[in-house]
Amino acid sequence: MLTGWARQQYGGRGLGRACVQGRVGVIRRFVAYTNEFPWNWTSAMVDEWSAHLIGELHRARSTLQQTQGALILFCEFLLDPRYGWAQECEDRFGTHPVQVCHEDNMARHLADYRGDPRRRPLTREELQALFDYVDSRVEHAVRVGRKGALTAYRDSTLFKTVYGWGLRCTEASRLDRADWYRNAKAAELGRFGMLHVRYGKGSRGSGYKRREVASLMSWAVEAVEDYLSNIWPRFGRAEHPAMWLTERGGRLGSGEIDDRFGMYRDAVGLDKKLSLHCLRHSYVTHMVEDGVDPKFIQSQVGHVYQSTTSIYTSVSGDFANTMMRQAIDLARLREQPTSGEGDDER
């Protein structure tokens, strides 16, 4: 059964070796856990295994969904009459495989967002509330003459940069002023048309991975340009290369950035589980909702695999409904006969 399923995925679906072997490994582990062959599997076994993965092994929801997805595909293969496994089992053992995964015991039924809840994307309303609050702290500090005006302005621009270019915390922390440069295809953005990310997350053991990120949001570019022109010089460290300076003139670390985000998050009343990384997830999700090509998004955020980018995505219900409506209307349009079509039948 496993050999035939692997061949189906290699040949018919053209999947890579790592993907296929990973799925086969899931089935072997499920067999070892249940101590039963596929023709004896039940939905209750899936329930028990899922509880074991989450409650005892502390696997992420995304991992649970991937393992259940492999189970679904394997059961579909066994039940496909073209492969004859259901009849073979009936003839040999007097029973046959069934689909053991269904809506009520699937991970997506348990949680709308597949990834770590600390990193879920913000809604556009939540994002606007965060930015409005940070900006209000800048205005308040300037109005009352408080010393914290510079750091408040820095934080405001920092969070907008993380969201506007889809950055990880470490990537943002390591940015230098010289990492911005012109993009010939977007001359209107001046010297902020592209961002060189030098400390991107690399594969295991490969060190940092560089990438170029195109600037897409003109309002974020304006915020960065204003900050570097009018605010950064006031930190008094003209020789320092870093984008984000502390009041003492050092580079703002990733831990400090996360702490600063948590302070503003709590003040706005957002979920305390949210971390700065949620802004990167928001960037991906909002780009998808705005109709940007998924391959371009994948390049922007530096993902090797499209599947990684898809984990970041949790589009809103309104967007999903809009896409459904458009798909239905398009299908109906295609079903309509063109001019003159069907005249012969009439």
Tell me the one-letter amino acid at 229.
S
Distance CA 297, CA 307 (A): 12
What is residue 179's predicted lDDT score, i.e. its pLDDT? Answer: 96
Highest mean pLDDT among 40-49, 320-329, 337-346: 40-49
Mean pLDDT of the 19-31 span: 90
SS3 (DSSP) at 276:
coil
Predicted confidence (pLDDT) per residue in 258-299, tens digit: 999 999 999 999 888 899 999 999 998 888 888 888 888 888
Distance CA 334, CA 113 (A): 33
For the beta sheet containing 180-181, the strands, ordered from the edge strand earlier in sequence to the opposite edge, are 180-181, 194-200, 209-214
* Contact call for residues 192 and 224 (beta carbons, < 8 A): yes
Of the candidates 258, 232, 259, 262, which has an alpha carbon nearest to the alpha carbon of residue 247?
232
Look over the chain and give the mean of its residue pLDDT values, rounded to a whole number.
83
pLDDT higher for 187 or 13? 187
Q: How far is CA 287 from CA 121, 183, 216, 301, 315, in A?
A: 12, 20, 10, 11, 10
- The answer to whether residue 233 scores a pLDDT higher than 70 is yes
Angstrom distances, CA of residue 14 to CA of 3, 6, 21, 80, 109: 15, 11, 13, 19, 29
Q: What pLDDT band is residue 315 in, cutting at 50, 70 and 90?
A: very low
Distance CA 40, CA 179 (A): 59
Q: What pLDDT, on a 0 to 100 scale, did the predictor assign at position 304?
A: 73
Please report the pLDDT score of residue 346 as a whole number: 39
What 8-state DSSP symbol labels residue 163? Answer: H
Which band of pLDDT confidence, cut at 50, 70 and 90, is reported for residue 90? Answer: very high
**Is 91 exposed, middle or buried, given 0-12, 13-18 or 19+ CB atoms closer than 10 A?**
exposed
Question: Within 10 Å of residue 46's Cβ, how many Cβ atoms?
Answer: 22
What average pLDDT does the segment 214-234 reach? Answer: 94
Query: What residues contact 288, with CB distance under 8 A and at least 6 apart?
Result: 294, 297, 313, 315
What is the residue extent of each domain of the chain? Answer: 2-111, 119-277
- What was the pLDDT predicted at 294? 84
Kind plus residue range of the DSSP H or E element containing 88: helix 85-93
Q: Residue 19's pLDDT is what?
A: 78
Q: Which fold has domain 119-277?
A: hpI Integrase; Chain A (1.10.443)
How far CA 253 is from CA of 76, 244, 305, 328, in Å, comes to: 49, 9, 29, 49
**How confident is the model at residue 107, as a pLDDT?**
60
Q: Point out which residues pair with 195 in neighbouring strands.
A: 180, 213
Which residue reads 């053209």 in tokens? Answer: 14
Mean pLDDT within 302-323? 58
Average pLDDT over every residue of 323-346: 52
**Calpha distance 192→181 (Å, rounded):** 5
Matching residue, tokens 């950035």: 257
Query: Among 13-17, 58-62, 283-287, which stretch is predicted with the lowest mean pLDDT?
Result: 13-17
User: Is-contact 297 285, C-beta < 8 A?
Assistant: no
Percent of the chain exceeding pLDDT 70 equals 79
Its pTM stands at 0.60
The band of 228, judged by pLDDT with boundaries at 50, 70 and 90, is very high
Region 178-190: what's the mean pLDDT? 93
Going by pLDDT thresholds of 50, 70 and 90, the confidence category of residue 200 is confident
- How many helices (H) and strands (E) the chain has is answered by 15, 3
**In the predicted model, is pLDDT for residue 334 greater than 90?**
no
pLDDT at 24: 92
Q: What is the pLDDT of residue 226?
A: 95
The partner residues of 197 in beta bridges, in order of sequence, read 211
**Residue found by looking up tokens 């496994």 in the block:** 85
pLDDT tens digits, 137-154: 888 777 776 677 889 999
Q: What's the pLDDT band for 302 if we cut at 50, 70, 90?
A: confident
Question: In CATH, what class is 2-111?
Answer: mainly alpha
Q: Which residue has the higher pLDDT, 133 or 111?
A: 133
